[in-house]
Structures are given as structure tokens and as C-alpha cells.
Amino acid sequence: MVRTVFSATLQGLQVKFVNVEADVSNGLPMFHLVGYLSSEVKEAGERVRSAIRNSDFVLPPKKVVVNLSPANMRKRGSIFDLPIAIAILTALEEIPEQSLKGTVIAGELSLDGGVRRVSGILPIVLEAKKQGYRRCIIPMGNLQEGELVEGVQVIGVKHLKEVCKVLKGENMQQNAEDRPNAIMMLNKASYPDFADIRGQHFVKRAVEVAVAGNHNIMMIGPPGAGKTAIAKRIPSILPPLTLDESLELTMIYSIVGKLNQDFPLKTERPFREVHQTVSQTALIGGGIFPRPGEISMAHKGVLFLDEIAEFPKNILDNLRQPLEEHSIKIVRERGEYEFPAEFLLVAAMNPCLCGNYPNLNKCTCTTTQIRGYLGKLSQPLLDRIDICVEVPKVEYDDLTEEIREEASEAIRERIVKARRIQWERYRNCEIKANAHLSIKDMEKYCALDSEGHKIMQQAYEQLGLTARTYHKVLGVARTIADLEGAEDIQGKHLREALTYRTMDAKYWG
Ligand SMILES: [Zn+2]
């Protein structure tokens, strides 16, 4: 007789439900798995048979056929092990068919019948709830993650025997001590603090503005000036995630299988540093069955590229689309996948090979070498960077002077205030921060008075701004005004915003 278990898997960010049908009949003893399966799923047969035997069930010498449908969808991974075993046991009448109603089952099996953790459980449980399923049976290792979804019963299991007991309605006690209370573990991790950075007030201010409005930022300066140290302190000033953002981010980490088992909810904005050797797939996502890459793992947080000029040009070019659209599209023969990738780009670079340009007394590079080095950054990429700031070597006086530098907490407070103003202002639209304002939005939110127009006109001519950079300046000025709590953009806000563009002309003009 044929018995069906409901299961699910992921295609990109999309949850696809899969019916696992088992048919046990008299005939030549055999075990057959069909349904457009990848090799990992084909191997499930071995695992499932061992797991069933090691769970004190007898597999009679009969013909067993398992079919995974819909047939036109390629199935991969080990997530179907458990539903396959349950479908067979139900067909063997070890489990009442009635118990499968409204239940989604997912999990990998080990040969001894143990149920192992799988990736992607959060989106699956969320979608199961949306589709009206009443219960999800998942690996105990994924329980915390599954329980983030309210309004659907989520049961964590450690062994195939346990699943059978649950389905037979035998009283099962979830051992509460197995799972620490998620909320109680909410405490902010400690990060290095801006108080450690002596001097560099101009750079710190630029970073504050960048984070406050989500403006991409580039730091340029000689080696040893502290660019990396400054970047690594950015996590300490990032504003808190909203609940929606937190869930969105947790989904991505669920798919890549990078959630903390005991405390799965992502409660802090990510800070992802990628190295020059990063592959295109690791950076933007991809693979035969596309998975999110670093840019999606940096979603709602920071992507840090140290020594950006050392990255291969084709790798950097990949960043253009996500920087513009805040998501990445990966096209495959079987469809298009889209992953969110709304990150703040923080980049650092030396001004030349020796690192001393524009100090011509010290720089040993030829003009051609300098041009070649700076030219590694394409104009389209530079256009997507709102703030460009020079990080000079720290003056001796700054190093020795006895002053207390401002701590990250104080900077963070100002940033949170400025973000609140933005959330409030853009409450009814798609915009989340000033960096996302379109040219059209700017007419509405970045109006200038006559003094403002005069300043911008002058700058346009003197700094050789393009239409694009002109609007970048406006957006940054909006953020500076928000940091001050000012309703209108004033001359001083524009003047400060313009200082973050003077580098363009100096290095790339
Ligand atoms: Zn040089």
C-alpha cells in the first residue's frame, strides 16, 4: 500500500514541499528510490535501511519503492532520510497513517537511527505554518531554530524510535533542560572599542556618518595608519537589528547551515571580512544548487574588504549589482535565484604599491605604477562609494597626549538616534536608510535652500562632481543633518559631506 509523508527542501531562499511516497508490496525483495534524485539522496537508501533495522524494526523481504515528487524538481541533500524512513514504516503499518496528516517531517539519519541536524529548518517551518501544516518534526539539533516560529507545533527528535513514538501518540516528554531559554541568552558580544583609537577624529567621524546612513565607505592611507583597526571597531557602533531584520538574517544563516545550535536567532548585525583569495561563489553565492555567499551573510551588516586594490578585478565587478540593488540574482538553467544582500561596504586600501603616495618625498612608485594601482578600482565601483576618507599616519602628539578618546557606546547612541529619525521618516516606503534614496526621493527629502544650492553649484564645478556623485553628497548631507537632529539640510551639513568627496579628485581625478 502507498503511504505519503510531507517533507520540504530549499531552492535558493524558496521552500519547496516534497511528497515522499512509499509502496511496500509482495514481489521480488528489492529497494528502489526514484524521483529525480541527486547522488546524496540515492545514498539515503543505505542509511534508511540501517537506521530502521537499528531501531528494532524488521524490514520484511518485500518490494519497497520510494518515490519523491514532484518529479520535475531535482532533490538533493540528506534532509529526506527521515521522511523516507517514516513513509516505509507507515507502509509497513508500524505507524498509523492518520498521524501523518498536517505534519511536515525533515531530518538526516545516521546508520544507528540517530536523527542529525540539517540546514534550512527555519524557512521550512515558517513556510509550513503559512501553508497550514499544524506540526513539524525536525532534528533536536534544529529545535531552537524551529521554535522561533510561533503558531505551529515544533517537535525535536534525536532518534528514529522517538519519531515513531510521537506519531503513535505515545506520550513524549520534551526534556526542557535540553534547551536553554533563547531570550535569557540575549547579551551583546563585546567588540574592540573606538576608545582604543588615538586621534584620527576625522576618520572616526566619517565612519560614524557612514554607519548612521548606511553609506559605503573607503579608507585610504599608508600601511600602519590604523585603517584595519578602525574597521574592526565598526561592529561596536552598529545599531540593533529590528525583529524583522533579525528573522530575515536568521533565514540566510539557516540556509548556509551557520546558526548557533543553542542560540539560533541572529541578534546582531554581521561583520564579514573577506580575503583577496575569495572565490566568486563564496563571495556572491552560487553553486549547482545556489547557496548564499558572503555578501548575503553580510546582509543588514558590514562587508569589509581590506586592501581592496589587491582583489582581482572580476571579483570586485561582482559587487556592482548587489551594491545597486541590495540583492543578488543567480541565474541557472533551472531558474533564477535571488538572495538579499543589503550590506554596508567598508573598504580600505593603500594609496600606491609602497603606500606613501601622495607624499612624493617618500613614495618610490612611478606615475604609471600609481595610476595602475589606483586604476584597479573601476569607476562604476567608486561611484557606489559615498564616503572616501584619507587615513593619515597618526601624529606623534596624538599618540602621547593624555586624552580620553570617545567610547563606542557614545558613538552608537548618536547613530541609533539618527537611524530612528530615518525609520520614522521612511516608515511608509521601501527606503531603510539615507543611502537608499533614489534621485526622485531626494527631491522630497533633501531639499536645499538658496545657500545650499550655491554651495553645491560651486562644488559641482570645482570638484568635478558627476550627477551620481552630486546625489551621493546630498544623501550624506541628509545623514549629517539627521545626526544633528536637524530637519533641513544646512550649509554646514553640505560642506562636511563635500569633504568626503575631495579624495576622488586627488586620487582618481
Ligand atoms: Zn608609492
State whether 395 and 482 are in the same domain: no
DSSP for 198-242, please give it.
Answer: -S-HHHHHHHHHHHHHT--EEEE--TTSSHHHHHTTGGGGPPPPP
pLDDT of residue 326: 94
Position 292 in a domain:
yes
pLDDT of residue 189: 66
State whether 166 and 200 are in the same domain: no
State whether 309 and 376 are in the same domain: yes
Position 264 in a domain:
yes
CA–centroid distance, residue 73 to ligand 1 (Å): 55
Note the pTM of the prediction, 2 decimals.
Answer: 0.80
CA-to-CA distance for 292 and 312, rounded, in angstroms? 21
What distance lies between CA 38 and its chain's CA centroid? 27
Q: Could you identify the residue written with the cell 501518540? A: 169
Rg of the chain in Å (alpha carbons): 28
Dihedral sign for Cα 47, 50, 52, 55, please.
negative
With H, G, I as helix, E, B as strand and everything else as coil, classify residue 130: helix
Of 433, 455, 471, which residue is a domain's last? 433
State whether 174 and 199 are in the same domain: no
| Residue 286 DSSP code | B
CA–centroid distance, residue 196 to ligand 1 (Å): 29
State whether 482 and 417 are in the same domain: no
Position 396 in a domain:
yes
pLDDT of residue 175: 46
pLDDT of residue 360: 86
| Rama region for 12: left / alpha / beta (φ>0; ψ in -120 to 50; rest) | left
319 touches 345 (CB < 8 A): yes
State whether 154 and 255 are in the same domain: no
The DSSP H or E segment spanning 104 is: strand 103-105
Query: Which triple of cell numbers denotes residue 18?
Result: 516534497
CA-to-CA distance for 227 and 235, rounded, in angstroms? 14
Residues near 139 by beta carbon (within 8 Å), at least 6 away in sequence: 82, 106, 107, 108, 115, 116, 117, 118, 121, 156, 157, 158
Position 186 in a domain:
no
H helices within 34-103, ranges in order?
A: 39-42, 44-53, 81-91
CA–centroid distance, residue 174 to ligand 1 (Å): 65
Position 188 in a domain:
no
CA–centroid distance, residue 416 to ligand 1 (Å): 39
| Residue 105 DSSP code | E
CA–centroid distance, residue 319 to ligand 1 (Å): 27
Query: Which triple of cell numbers denotes residue 77?
Result: 541533500
CA-to-CA distance for 430 and 279, rounded, in angstroms? 32
Taking a 5 Å cut-off on Cβ, the residues next to ion ligand 1 are 352, 354, 356-357, 363, 365
* Burial call 19-42: b when 16+ CB within 10 Å, e when fewer: ebbbbbeeeeeeeebebebeeebe
Q: How many CB atoms lie within 10 A of CB 243?
A: 9
With H, G, I as helix, E, B as strand and everything else as coil, classify residue 5: strand
pLDDT of residue 452: 95
Residues near 245 by beta carbon (within 8 Å), at least 6 away in sequence: 300
State whether 358 and 504 are in the same domain: no
Of 433, 450, 471, which residue is a domain's last? 433
Provide the pairing of β-strand 153-157 with 135-139: parallel
Position 141 in a domain:
yes
371 touches 351 (CB < 8 A): no
State whether 355 and 494 are in the same domain: no
Query: Which triple of cell numbers denotes residue 403?
Result: 586624552
State whether 412 and 457 are in the same domain: no
CA 488-494-497 angle, 5° bins:
125
CA–centroid distance, residue 360 to ligand 1 (Å): 8
pLDDT of residue 176: 42
CA–centroid distance, residue 507 to ligand 1 (Å): 12
CA–centroid distance, residue 279 to ligand 1 (Å): 28
CA 405-406-407 angle, 5° bins:
115
CA–centroid distance, residue 351 to ligand 1 (Å): 7
Of 125, 149, 178, which residue is a domain's last? 178
Position 92 in a domain:
yes
pLDDT of residue 401: 72
CA–centroid distance, residue 366 to ligand 1 (Å): 7
Query: Which triple of cell numbers denotes residue 428?
Result: 511608509
CATH number reported for the structural domain that contains residue 407 in this entry: 3.40.50.300
CA–centroid distance, residue 170 to ligand 1 (Å): 74
Domain count within the chain: 3
393 touches 199 (CB < 8 A): no
CA–centroid distance, residue 350 to ligand 1 (Å): 9
Q: How many CB atoms lie within 10 A of CB 114?
A: 20
Mean pLDDT by 10 residues, the chain (509 residues): 93 88 93 90 91 94 94 90 97 94 96 94 92 95 88 94 91 48 48 92 97 97 93 94 84 88 83 96 89 96 96 93 93 85 96 89 91 89 92 77 88 95 90 92 94 93 85 96 97 95 79
Q: Please give the residue range of the domain that contains residue 327.
A: 194-433
DSSP for 355-422, please give it.
Answer: S-TT-TTT----HHHHHHHHTTS-HHHHHT--EEEE-PPPPHHHHHS--PPPPHHHHHHHHHHHHHHH
CA-to-CA distance for 208 and 287, rounded, in angstroms? 36
State whether 294 and 247 are in the same domain: yes
State whether 400 and 475 are in the same domain: no
285 touches 295 (CB < 8 A): yes
* Burial call 390-401: b when 16+ CB within 10 Å, e when fewer: bbebeeeeeeee
CA-to-CA distance for 509 and 503, rounded, in angstroms? 9
pLDDT of residue 181: 39
State whether 368 and 399 are in the same domain: yes
Closest among 216, 390, 392 to 304, alpha carbons compared:
216
